[in-house]
Amino acid sequence: MDAQTVSVVVAGLGVSGAAAARGLAAGGESVIVLEANEGERQRAAAAELAALGVEVRFGEPILPEGTSLLVTSPGWRPGHPLLAAAARAGVEVIGEVELAWRLRATDGSAAAWLALTGTNGKTTVVRMLTSILIAAGHRAAAVGNVGVPIAEAVGEPYDVLAVELSSFQLHWSSSLAPYAAALLNVAPDHIDWHGSMEEYAAAKARIFENAGVIVYNADDEWSERLAGPYRPGEVRGGDARLVGFTLGTPLPGQLGVVEELLVDRAFVADPVHEAEELADLHDITPFAPHNVANALAAAALARAYGVPADAVRRGLRAFTPDPHRIAHVATVGGVDYVDDSKATNPHAAAASLAAYPSIVWIAGGQLKGADVDDLVRRAAPRLRGAVLLGQDRERIRRALARHAANVPVVDVPGQDTGVMDRVVGEARRLASPGDTVLLAPAGASLDMWPHYGARGDAFARAVRGLSG
């Protein structure tokens, strides 16, 4: 960043906005933060920033005259009046991640970035990756859309950063050049923000543009397609190396699974004739096919950075999953109850449903325009019953009628605090010993709860009520 005094505007006083303002102020910039809400939290944050010379303006955000750069928060859509005003005025708009990239040290001491994105699995992979890096003895941190704010992390003495990036953050990033970058999967999500599936996918693909090593999911159609332009002979802007991961037997240049082993045929001396064992399936917790894919993606990024095989195994064994991700809550009467409230879209729910053979499915919430027919069609042979709640439960019920007509379905209306107790009670009635009652809603939780964690907590409380 140019250290001359200029007027930089930060949109929003959330975690990323406050971190961006602090980083800019530390670099000598003149910073104004615009925040629409003036609550107790916002006023406290404003007081802290004022001590650093940062001005915070509350109320309707208006672009100040003389603004040379606008740093936006991830949730602000491109059509927001403030961002539209910046575009008309010729003011560059970037996100906190792009800002952090520009703020990092340029003397060779900056931490390497191992970046990843995808519709589902990002947080799990970034935490697996961090665990592997630490097992290898590196000073590492999970940052970006999780963990430490990235604008602060670039000022700390880390060797390497595991960077989780959302499509929103990538939309506002233009010069990121990570050491290695991975695209886990792409499925319809946030279409209301991006405008179309193609624009959403294009935002995800930006992670590849300047990456040194490109990691893609060979089992995911969109991921493989978006990695296509970077195949040998077609690489743009450098010597990018293309590495795939698959749940099947890996080809040369891929990581994959052979019998019960995770193996590497990419980062070995002779990928055509050699493979190196990294771990086995029992090292992955919780075990599910999509979590094996997560482990392979994390391993590929770590191996790109030079991490030895034994550290991959140790890092995966040490990894502790975040709550509400296919978490076993209890077994009651021979029935397992599993919380995957984080499955907030059909793609995530499909991965969760594929992990169990006999399921009473708890589903519903805000589908955000996503289609559920393919999800229900594929899951139908595993379903022993379904209990529906939330705003878009009728759309799921119709899909079940079309593709799983013999599956008993219970509709639980209402938005009161006791609705989850009734949902779990109905699921118990439908379940038999050996079944799994699975909360994998396929929709967001904001119609009834403040976040997916609160929905998962409500499910766990109701299950504990069954077991006493």
CA pair distance 154, 163, nearest whole angstrom: 11
Radius of gyration of the chain (CA): 23
**Could you tell me if 340 and 327 are in contact, meaning their C-beta atoms sit under 8 angstroms apart?**
yes
Interhelix angle 96-103/15-26, rounded to 10 degrees, is 30
Closest CA to 334 of 438, 433, 436: 433
CA pair distance 161, 42, nearest whole angstrom: 29
Q: Is 118 annotated as a binding residue?
A: yes
Q: Is 436 annotated as a binding residue?
A: no
Q: Is 122 annotated as a binding residue?
A: yes
**Could you tell me if 261 and 279 are in contact, meaning their C-beta atoms sit under 8 angstroms apart?**
yes
Q: Phi/psi at 32 (nearest 5 deg)?
A: -125, 130
Instruction: Tell me the three-class secondary structure of the chain, residue by residue.
Output: CCCCCCEEEEECCCHHHHHHHHHHHHCCCEEEEEECCCCHHHHHHHHHHHCCCCEEEECCCCCCCCEEEEEECCCCCCCCHHHHHHHHCCCEEEEHHHHHHHHCCCCCCCCEEEEEECCCCHHHHHHHHHHHHHHCCCCEEEEECCCECHHHHCCCCCCEEEEECCHHHHHCCCCCCCCEEEECCCCCCCHHHHCCHHHHHHHHHHHHCCCCEEEEECCCHHHHHHHHHHCCCCCCCCCCEEEEECCCCCCCCEEEEECCEEEECCCCCCCCCCCEEEEEHHHCCCCCHHHHHHHHHHHHHHHHCCCCHHHHHHHHHHCCCCCCCCEEEEEECCEEEEECCCCCCHHHHHHHHCCCCCEEEEECCECCCCCCHHHHHHHHHHEEEEEECCCCHHHHHHHHHHHCCCCCEEECCCCCCCHHHHHHHHHHHHCCCCCEEEECCCCECCCCCCCHHHHHHHHHHHHHHHHC
CA pair distance 20, 149, nearest whole angstrom: 9
Query: Which amino acids are annotated as binding site, given as ranges?
Result: 118-124
Query: Which amino acids are annotated as binding site for ATP, given as ranges?
Result: 118-124
